[in-house]
Structure 1
Amino acid sequence: MRLFPIPRCLPPCLLLVLGLAGPAQAAEGDVRLKEEVARCVPLVYDAPRDALALADRLLALPALPLAMKIDAVSCRTSALHQLGRNDESRQAISQLQALLRTPGLALGEYDQVQRRVAFLLLRDGRIDEGLRILEALQERSIATGNIGGQILALGHIALVHAEQLDDPEGALHYQQQALTLSGHLPRPPRPQDVTLNYNHGCTLLQLKRYEEAGRAFDRAEHIARRLSMQEALLHSIRSDRAEILRARGHRRIARSELLAVLHWQERNNPLSRVTTLQYLARIALDEGVPEQARELAEQAATVAEAGRFPGHRERLELLAEISIAQGDAAKAHGYLRRARQSDRPGMSEESLARLARMQARAAQALEPARVNALQEANRDRLLRDIALAITALLLVGVAGLYLRTRRQQKSLRGLLASARPLLRHRDG
């Protein structure tokens, strides 16, 4: 057993790309409604109460189109989870799953919603159900040559290693593969790139590889600042960087940073406080104030329980370390016993077999020849799109030139026609 590990970061919700989850086609008169639906999910992490209020308002509307209803329920589900309202979140998950079973629904257009459902199922301990969804998504992404979907599948595998198997080294392996594959995509940065780099940094931080973790957080922040609606993640990065400062002996600066982050988190996303509170508890412990450390660690444990966050063993071990500092060996032993019990595998044989299949598919999909072929296909697709765009511009230019020439010819004919009587008059 590692005594005592760094509190793990809280990974953003399932490497999710923010925005509309489904097609949400709307008539021209519904443009404003469509914009409201699109605004909901990005609010979940920066302002979950506002996201919930918006989702409830949308769902109260009569005859809301199915695509918009799915997005609104999806947003509501994530907001309830962020607010720690577990029973309501479970009910919303069931409602969302029922909507996704609507006959005739093009399920392939709702991959983001399914990933969100899978993440929440995993967090709720329903691992078999969550992995079943993730495996189906991976199969579809490989069958269609969707590299973005395959990158997310690698992220899913890493998430399971980190949260369900408590295997940061295994998680790191799949995160590095996802980042390598992501680097092959000729496209602008996306929110999933922020999350990939952030989760990579969190794993490195957990392994105490501080220099590498700092670089990963730098990459995540650089991309996040080029996008919108990333405040929650930017504050998490600031909190994690403060932990690196603490580990390097800069406790005063680290505490100042953590308190500033905590102030924002308390106002905007209370459940995101877990790691920040644990970092503050460790500073108090380092400074020989175990009473304050215990208060902060217990507060973090309470918040984490409400959000069904991973890292239960680390929280117990931190409390055990604080108990040792207070000279309470019996309480420390109790925490360590509970920590050992939480080490027991939480995955069934079926889930482990499913995870093994996902890993095998990922390995096959990452064979150099296949990656090169996918790179070539994406390059060809990009060149084709550029060529089509240039052709369209040329056609527009040619059409414009043709119309201008026609107008000039018409004007010239008019001038010539009006000039002929005058010329005949002069000739006469």
Structure 2
Amino acid sequence: MDVSTHIEAVLAEVRRRNPGEAEFHQAVTEVLDSLGPALARHPEYVRGAIVDRICEPERQVMFRVPWVDDEGAVRVNRGFRVEFNSALGPYKGGLRFHPSVNLGIVKFLGFEQIFKNALTGMGIGGGKGGSDFDPRGRSDGEVMRFCQSFMTELYRHIGENTDVPAGDIGVGGREIGYLFGQYKRLTNRFDAGVLTGKPVAWGGSHARTEATGYGTVFFAEEMLATRGKSFDGRRVVVSGSGNVALYAIEKVHALGGTVVACSDSSGYVVDEGGVDLELLKELKEIRRERLSVYAEVKQSARFSDRGTLYDVPCDVALPCATQNEIGREEALSLTKNGVLAVVEGANMPSTPEAVEVFGEAGVLFGPGKAANAGGVATSALEMQQNASRDRWTFEQTETRLAAVMRDVHAECRRTAEEYGGSADDYVLGANIAGFLRVADAMQAQGIV
């Protein structure tokens, strides 16, 4: 069987086995479309069915999560954990609490995590999990009771040498605290390394909160440098206003750029003088307000619920919200306004049609599996600190993060050229580089 026939057969089987899981199909297609040159050079991976095996999770867990709200009513949600690939180390990936979560979403995220984690070089496998529970608008007591019920099932599947969850959308320090407390209660062990994203006071790492946003900007900085450019004086838009977006904004401003717009699910705000980060943090993290309040507080800003953030002229776009937020129309709007680079802080925020538009326009495009790897890289650094019962300074950790992102960037460019593409083809480079690291380990470990 030739390589293209093999890839088509694997894709057909993925679609047959996983009906209706559009995001998972999209993620698998995006990776497999890049692997032709690697499989042609390594036919042993075809014979060993490496691609077939890498597309099938090693384990999928789905469970009921009953809990009681503040009015005494019993609620029921679904919990998920997909342990996708452990060839390079324990499963590693976040937990997402959001109404959109279903098995297909978790599988798409877990599949992406395999290659993202491999690119960091940190010795961690790929997994993901979560629930369709929505913590927004819930009291601390309700969130605690949900997390305790969720962990009552999840705890039997995780461990510092088995599977190490972290936070994601809807899972921050509060949720990690409740989850860890219930794990400790059930196991009678203080296994600090079983969850990452913990507060620094009891086993967390400095710079972990900032890591995904900072890392995305570090990667974008390296991309711009290949064109002799930097963030200094650049107009930037950042989608989202959660953790990743907040710290991407912070680092862009530190590097001399100006973030002129950000968004949430209700619309977007434009602040030509630069988004006021302290005001944004207060509104989103403390008061938990919608973004429209920003424009009410700061009269020089304007809020809009028409069109999209990507209609705002910019030099750099950092999509940091959610999957498939940039379609063909948004991509055309960005390129029309002269965007230089689009760098993904979220997981798969650009559709295939959007990526095609960027390629045709010569726009630098950084895929999420490379550009936002800083979060999980710093989680691995947190695991190192937990294992040695050590704590690094913020500066030490940020220095390690920056070095990891430079290495990921360099590896993507080197691999893309080695396998017949342009050095600017970060999609090709990231997919092949991540795949080869996992495939080599799977080949060495046999048919397991």
- Return the index of the structure with the highest Cα Rg: 1
Give the alignment's TM-score, normalised by structure 2: 0.27
Q: Which has the higher contact order (CA 8 A, sep 6+)?
A: 1
TM-score w.r.t. structure 1 length? 0.28
Which structure has greater strand proportion? 2
